[in-house]
Amino acid sequence: MRGWARFRRSKMGMIGAVMLLVAVVVAVFAPWLAPYDPYAPSSPTIEDIYAPPSGEHLLGTDDGGEDVLSGLIYGSRVSLIVGFSAATISLLIGGLIGLVAGFRGGRVGNLLMRITDFFLVIPDIALQIVIVAIVGQSLRNIILVIGVLGWTPTARLVRAQTLTVRERKFVLRARAVGGSDRYILRRHVLPQVLPLMLANTVLEISLAILAESTLAFIGLGDPTLISWGQMLNFAFTRGAVSAGAWWALIPPGLGIVWVVLGTTLLGNALEELLNPRLGRHFLEKEPPTQATPGTAPEQPELLLSIKDLKVTFEVGAAPVVAVDGVSLDVCRGEAMGLVGESGCGKTTTMLAALRLLPPGGAIAGGNIWFEGRDLAALRPNELRPMRWRQFSMVFQGAMNALNPVKTVGWQIAEAIRQHEPTVTADEAAARAGHLLETVGIGGDRAGDYPHEFSGGMRQRAMIALALACGPGLVVADEPTTALDVMIQAQIMDLLAALRAELGMSLVLITHDLGVVAESCDRAAVMYGGVVVEQGTIAEVFRDPQHPYTRLLLAAFPDIDQPDRPLASIPGTPPRLDEIPPGCRFAPRCPHAFERCHTERPPAYPLGPRREAACFLVERTWQGVTDG
Amino acid sequence: MRGRGLRAPPPISLMTRGSLFLRKIIWALITIFVVITFNFFLFRVLPGDPAKAGVKDPRLSPQAVAALQQRFGLDKPVLFNTQGGNLFDSQYFRYLGALAQGDLGTSYAYKSRPVTSMLGRALVNTLWLVLPAQILAIVLGVLLGLVAAWRRGTKLDVSALIFALFTWALPTFFLGILLLFVGSRYLGLPTGGRITIGADYASFWATAGDVLRHLLLPTLTFALVLLGEYMLIMRSSVVEVFSEDYILTAKAKGLTTFQIIRRHAFRNAMLPIVTLIALNLGFTVSGAIQVETVFSWPGLGKLTVDAVAQRDYPLLQGAFLMLAVSVVVANLVAELVYLRLDPRVTEV
């Protein structure tokens, strides 16, 4: 019933359903609704022909002196009968062929798809015209022709859906335990394919109605029945335009528009229900940021200083707080590891810091001091010249971070020329090649497209891209995830070497504590959208103060104590819309006491650039401040 | 590095790409052959056998029928001549042979006029109508779809969406009638045809002007009907591309929105449009039939409808073949364009 609740919220779908319902009611009750019987024999006089609307004939009369309103009401019957029956036939034929082609695959499936492709290029309407003209224009023939010829789109759709379902785990499992094809089709595949098939059928109804009216308009309707297309054909060919009889033309046309619009709206809403599209993108107008007024920190060694950053996301009605008061400092030439489980706000924090939040995300407070300017307060066009030149980012999953239809070298050269307009195309190309060589890719591969690179190469190409303009800060988001250990080590060594050579700062987002210990100067641990502990590598790894840090470390294998059993942290990080009132880690913390559940612990400074947000360290902190 | 530069040719070797081109062309040729055969049997298998219908006139004497049957080759077997003599002396192979010489028979209704020349003239007229309308619809649809996607959720986007839904639900012939009604009654535009009947223009330009006046409403009708769908597809395609990771990369690189669209989004977003244009060619035929009927434009569509009205089967058969082959050819062109646009395609 959740589907129904979601459908009711779709305005367009509801409008469509109501429109269609009205048409069905009119069609069913036509004899009671129509003021005249258009099928009754009549003997019109010359005054009856194309009589304008009057009290007697609300929509006037047509070329035969018949009441247009009655024709409009009765005409709905043919449209709906043809629409529903033809779409059902298309569904049955197309569904069956699509299912078999998708499920069986192999030679049978190929042959079926070749046939489908063939009929897809034959213009439907031409074939419909030829066949109806030859076999005769009865309602039955028209339904059959439209229905049978409408199977191709359904077959393609069902085949594609079946192909994806066929590879799902539950189908493979059913096959592995020896389920017969028929059983798997009926119990596992059909239920997955059917909803999409039905949504598609609703759209097929609108196509069938359009096809029927077109056939009727060009004189291939059933001559014994009144349909909207037929009414338009008669009125148009018998002088309604020159007579100015708009009332004989507009009502039947609007009748068609009504049912087609209704079914289209309904079908689209159903499809949207099954295949929700987010529909948001990266180029939407940014919401105004709410930077807190403040002054830049005085220390010249600070490159990036995030102060009390707050990030919200629109999810449904109320915004959700994804990052709640994060403060982080990165000095020049320093490498900081940002660690924590997935969903703790590491990436969101850094995307917000570089003003690259995805649509729906917004900076709701705080400052991002970078070289004396607050990035949170800058307008997009003030920010643009700083991007990539002063700070760049190695995005997670470099698979899709490079444009598939541009060469890798071009994409690197583009960044160079964007920020150094005096550089010629050739120079930029040469530098791009050199950068690729720096990350261990032959410069001659600069003309390759991303899909011609392996995953590791793409990751390294992304790093080369991030270094293109010699930025002061590089944020690398999981640069080694999903790569094998050898490549991981290569990439981390590369980053360390480049950092030493270029003197840039690095923020490394990862959940791999080993990588952080090896390649960073400092570490910050995040949990549930806040920083729970930070300090130098030695401090955080040797002397962890927050229970979460301790558990994270215990969950990580230690080469010095290979026999130590690995711990795991029961439970999962809190959902952003269900943040607990006190300490966010309290529900999973083995040391939590009453106060932890009601009061949020502040970040206690335990030394220079060393802090932990836990009530357990309050006493140590008092010791620090007293001493 | 220098020699190769960044404007290196597509990396997939010419051999594979070339053979892919070749395969597409061969597949199109096969499809055309199947269409030709299908067309032959369509007109013979269906009840009412139109080939015979032409010689079924009860006023004809049996001798005359026999003579006609012999003339049209209807006394021969359909597929293979197994009664001795030449195996290929059958209706099907005679049809293929005639077709190879561009002979599609003669029209029943327009006495003894060759179908091929009638179709040729009609095709030219149809192209005059379809091409400008398609170009107009594609250019406007792509631009409007792009802006609607970029300014997603704004009033502009919503009105574009509603407009597209309405044009989609509007039958082409009904929109044509509406425009004809307004244009002929209030704007003094012609009610149909290609040129004012009886007019004798002194110069070429005056004639051209008259033809253009006749073309205005049909082109507008056609363009409006196509526009909505192109716009919708472009919009959803652009929204999808704009939410790709590489767009975020481009933004992070410090490109302006305009640069991102021009360099990174446009080509990728156009790929579905190219597919749609190819898939929509059948729809174009349907549109041509309806628009030409409403505006009495002497193109392929009107010829088809007239052939149906007069049960002129040789003409109908020829028109069907022409329509189907045009769609196959246009489809091939669209696929080749797609290949040019997307370097990733290596498999059909």
Q: Hey, of B29, B35, B157, B173, which one would you mutate to test binding to chain A, going by the most A CBs within 10 A of its CB?
A: B173
Cα A607 to Cα A521, A623, A627, B185: the distances in Å are 16, 11, 11, 88
Q: For B238-244, what is the mean pLDDT? A: 89
Residues A325, A312: Cα–Cα separation, whole Å: 11
Q: Please report the pLDDT score of residue A279 as a whole number.
A: 72
Nearest residue, CB atoms, A135 vs list B48, B253, B320: B48
The Cα-based distances of A161 to A111, A186, A551, B237 in angstroms read: 18, 15, 44, 20
Q: In this predicted structure, what is the pLDDT of residue A624?
A: 64
DSSP B299: S
- Asked if the Cβ–Cβ distance from B46 to A446 is below 8 Å, we say no
CA-nearest of B306, B157, B298 to B231 is B157
Beta strand pairing call for A505-509 and A530-536: unpaired
Q: State the average pLDDT for chain B.
A: 79
- Answer for the pair B108, B315: CB distance below 8 angstroms, yes or no: yes
Say which of B11, B171, B247 has its CB closest to residue A447. B11
Question: Strand A361-370 to strand A302-314: parallel, antiparallel, or no bridges (unpaired)?
Answer: antiparallel
Residues in chain B: 348
Q: Looking at chain A from residue 430 to 469, which residues have their Cβ under 8 Å from any Cβ of chain B? A: 430, 432-433, 443-444, 446-449, 451-452, 465
Q: From residue B9, how far is each of A412, B18, B148 by CA, in Å?
A: 17, 13, 34
pLDDT (tens digit per residue) in A91-113 = 999 988 888 888 877 788 888 88
**Owner of token pair 């020829």:** B318
CB A161 within 8 A of CB A193: yes
Per-residue pLDDT at B335: 79
Report the pLDDT value the prediction gives residue B274, as an integer from 0 to 100. Answer: 79
Residue B10 has pLDDT above 60, yes or no: no
Q: How far is CA B29 from CA A170, A627, B14, B26, B36, in A?
A: 42, 90, 22, 5, 11
- Other CB atoms within a 10 A radius of the CB of residue B306 amount to 20
Q: Which two tokens stand for residue B151?
A: 């300014």
Q: What are the start-end ranges of the H helices in A122-180?
A: 124-135, 139-149, 151-166, 169-176
Strands A373-374 and A361-370, sheet pairing: antiparallel
Residue B9 pLDDT > 50, yes or no? no
Q: Please count the other Cβ atoms lying within 10 Å of the Cβ belonging to residue B99.
A: 17
Residue A310 has pLDDT above 90, yes or no: yes
The closest of B239, B246, B249 to B269, measured between CA atoms, is B239
**A322 three-class SS:** strand
* Collapsed DSSP state (helix, strand, coil) of residue A207: helix
DSSP tag of A168:
S
Is the model's pLDDT at A593 over the cut of 80? yes
CA nearest A534: which of A544, A526, A524?
A: A524
For A464-480, the pLDDT digits (tens) are: 999 899 899 999 998 87
**Cα A349 from Cα A363, distance rounded (Å):** 10
For A345-358, give one letter per residue: b (16+ CB within 10 A) or e.
Answer: bbbbbbbbbbbbbe
Nearest Cβ partner for B46 among A135, A214, A395: A135
Q: What is d(CA A520, CA A508) in angstroms, rounded to the nearest whole number?
A: 8
Q: How confident is the model at residue B246 (pLDDT cuts 50, 70, 90)?
A: very high
Q: A406 contacts in B (CB within 8 Å)?
A: 263-264
pLDDT of residue B38: 84
Of chain A, the percentage scoring pLDDT greater than 70 comes to: 97
Pairs across A and B, CB distance < 8 A: 256
For B68-118, give the DSSP string: HHHHHTTTS-SS---SSS-TT-SHHHHHHHHHHTT---B-TTTTT-BHHHH
To which residue do tokens 């039955």 refer? A140
Sheet holding A522-527: strands in order across? A391-394, A473-477, A505-509, A335-339, A522-527, A530-536, A610-612, A604-607
CB B107 within 8 A of CB B118: yes
Strands A473-477 and A361-370: unpaired
If you measure CA to CA, which chain B residue comes closest to A127? Answer: B320
3-state secondary structure (DSSP) of residue A581? coil
pLDDT tens-digit series, residues B123-163? 888 888 988 998 999 999 999 999 999 988 888 888 988 88
Residues in chain A: 627
CA distance A374 to A387: 14
Alpha-carbon distance of A495 to A505, in angstroms, equals: 10
**Nearest-by-Cβ selection for A249 from B152, B177, B320:** B177
pLDDT digits (tens, 9 = 90+) for A187-238: 888 888 888 888 888 888 998 999 999 999 988 888 888 899 888 898 888 8
Q: What's the whole-number average pLDDT of chain A?
A: 86
Dmax (CA) of chain A: 113
Burial class (CB in 10 A: 0-12, 13-18, 19+), B86: exposed
| Better-scored residue on pLDDT, B341 or A590 | A590
Q: How many other CB atoms sit within 10 Å of the CB of residue A94?
A: 27
Q: How far is B82 from chain A (nearest CA, A)?
A: 29
Predicted local distance difference test score (pLDDT) of residue B347: 43
Q: If you search the block for the tokens 């977003």, which residue do you land on?
A: B269
Closest among A534, A547, A553 to A584, alpha carbons compared: A547
- Please give the Cα distance from B166 to B155 (Å, whole number): 17
Task: Please list every residue in chain A whose beta carbon sits closer than 8 Å to the beta carbon of residue B53.
Answer: none
What are the pLDDT digits (tens) for A154-195?
888 888 888 888 777 777 777 777 778 788 888 888 888 888
What's the predicted TM-score (pTM) here? Answer: 0.81
- How many angstroms away from the CA of B92 is the closest CA of chain A? 19
Query: Predicted confidence band at B12 (pLDDT cuts at 50, 70, 90)?
Result: very low
Strand-pair category, A522-527 with A361-370: unpaired
Query: Where residue B316 falls among pLDDT bands split at 50, 70, 90?
Result: confident
A53-84 core/surface letters (b: 16 or more CB in 10 A; e: else): eeeebebbbbbbbbbbbbbbbbbbbbbbbbbb
Q: Quickly state the pLDDT bin for B14 (edges 50, 70, 90).
A: very low
Taking CA atoms, what residue in A is nearest to B302? A218
Q: How far from the centroid of its chain's Cα atoms is residue A340's Cα?
A: 26
Which position has the higher pLDDT, A204 or B6?
A: A204
User: Would you call A246 an interface residue with chain B, using a CB distance cutoff of 8 Å?
Assistant: yes
**C-alpha to C-alpha distance for A529 and A516, rounded to whole angstroms:** 20
| Chain B residues closer than 8 Å to A393 by CB | 252
* Segment B238-266 mean pLDDT: 91
Q: What angle do CA A169, A172, A173 make, to 5 degrees?
A: 80
Whether the per-residue pLDDT at A257 is higher than 90: the answer is yes
Task: Kindly tell me the burial class for residue B341, based on how many C-beta atoms sit within 10 Å of its own C-beta (0-12, 13-18, 19 or more).
Answer: middle
Q: CA B69 to CA B54: how far, in whole Å?
A: 9
Q: Which residues contact B337 (CB under 8 A, 6 or more apart)?
A: B274
Alpha helices for chain B (secondary structure H)? 14-45, 50-53, 62-72, 91-100, 115-150, 155-169, 172-186, 204-242, 245-252, 257-260, 266-279, 281-294, 300-309, 313-341
Q: Which residue matches tokens 């009947």?
A: B197
Q: What are phi and psi of A444, to 5 degrees?
A: -75, -5
> Rounded to the nearest 10 degrees, how much is the dihedral formed by the CA atoms of A609, A614, A617, A622?
70
Strand, coil or helix: A576: helix
Give pLDDT tens digits for A64-81. 778 888 888 898 999 899
Residues of chain A with Cβ-Cβ distance to B257 below 8 Å are 283
Helix (H, G, I), strand (E, B) or coil at B147: helix
Question: pLDDT tens, A493-549?
Answer: 878 887 888 888 999 998 888 889 888 999 999 998 899 999 999 999 999 999 999
Token reading at B131: 């091409």
Instruction: Work out the minimum CA distance from A446 to partner chain B, whole angstroms.
Output: 7
